């Protein structure tokens, strides 16, 4: 049985395959490069949940396969939760991690360290041809530092220190992939939805 993950990110696909495989060993996760091209929806919803559902519903309509999709972003306390759903487009088109990070640093330049709290959020949606729709959320708390550090990850990882690593000050871009998956918003959401997806697939088989 195939499950479609509306993503081209090889790491996301491999992670979902591992997690689903623990609960449904015969399931194969396929991505956007494995299905005929279709018009992907504009992520114009006001919430992470809304965007994730939009992408999952579009994937189901295009492929007919049980579909997973996610939306995630960084919410900064001192910016009233922004950039939030605009995280990937914070500095305007074209999308650029470097410009997004530079803009965030400039916006927080005068914010003292004790007020630089932030958290990442991930919403993962699942839509099944039989009508099932599920959404789960994952969260990773931490803070934004004053300079970029690390070569791993992507997006705002180079500026974010997770609460679990606050003592040593490692950014999520300085963590290995196993540790990042363990504490990340996306990893937590995928681990929560994995058994729910497997149960839904068993019920419909």
Q: Which residues are annotated as a binding site for Mg(2+)?
A: 71
Give Rg (Cα) of the chain. 17
**How buried is 164 (Cβ within 10 angstroms: 0-12 exposed, 13-18 middle, 19+ buried)?**
middle
DSSP structure string for 152-182: SS-GGGGGEEEGGGTTTT-BGGGS-HHHHHH
44 is catalytic: no
Spot the catalytic one: 34, 70, 71, 176.
Answer: 71
Upstream peptide bond of 29 is cis (omega within 30 degrees of 0): no
Q: What's the sign of the alpha-carbon dihedral 121, 37, 200, 10?
A: negative
Binding site for substrate, by residue number, is: 7-12, 72, 154-157, 180, 185-186
Q: CA–CA separation, 6 vs 124, rounded Å?
A: 11
Q: Regarding beta strands 117-127 and 67-76, do their DSSP bridges make them parallel or antiparallel, or are they unpaired?
A: antiparallel
Q: Which residues have a catalytic role annotated?
A: 71
């Amino acid at each position: 049985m195939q499950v479609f993950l509306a993503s081209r990110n090889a790491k996301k696909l491999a992670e979902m395959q591992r997690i689903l495989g623990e609960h449904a060993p015969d399931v194969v996760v396929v991505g956007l490069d494995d299905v005929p091209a279709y018009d992907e929806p504009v992520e114009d919803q006001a919430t992470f949940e809304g965007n994730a559902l939009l992408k999952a519903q579009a994937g189901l309509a295009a492929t007919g396969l049980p579909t997973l999709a996610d939306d995630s972003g960084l919410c900064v306390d001192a910016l009233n939760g922004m950039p939030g759903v605009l995280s990937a487009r914070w500095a305007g088109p074209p999308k650029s991690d470097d410009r997004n990070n530079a803009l965030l640093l400039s916006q927080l330049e005068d914010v003292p360290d004790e007020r630089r709290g932030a958290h990442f959020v991930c919403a993962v949606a699942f839509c099944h041809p039989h009508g099932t729709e599920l959404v789960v959320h994952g969260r990773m708390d931490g803070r934004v530092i004053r300079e970029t550090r690390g070569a791993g990850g992507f997006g705002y990882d180079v500026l974010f220190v997770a609460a679990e690593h606050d003592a040593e000050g490692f950014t999520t871009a300085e963590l290995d992939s196993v540790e990042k998956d363990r504490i990340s918003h996306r990893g937590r959401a995928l681990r929560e939805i994995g058994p729910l997806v497997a149960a839904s697939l068993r019920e419909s088989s």
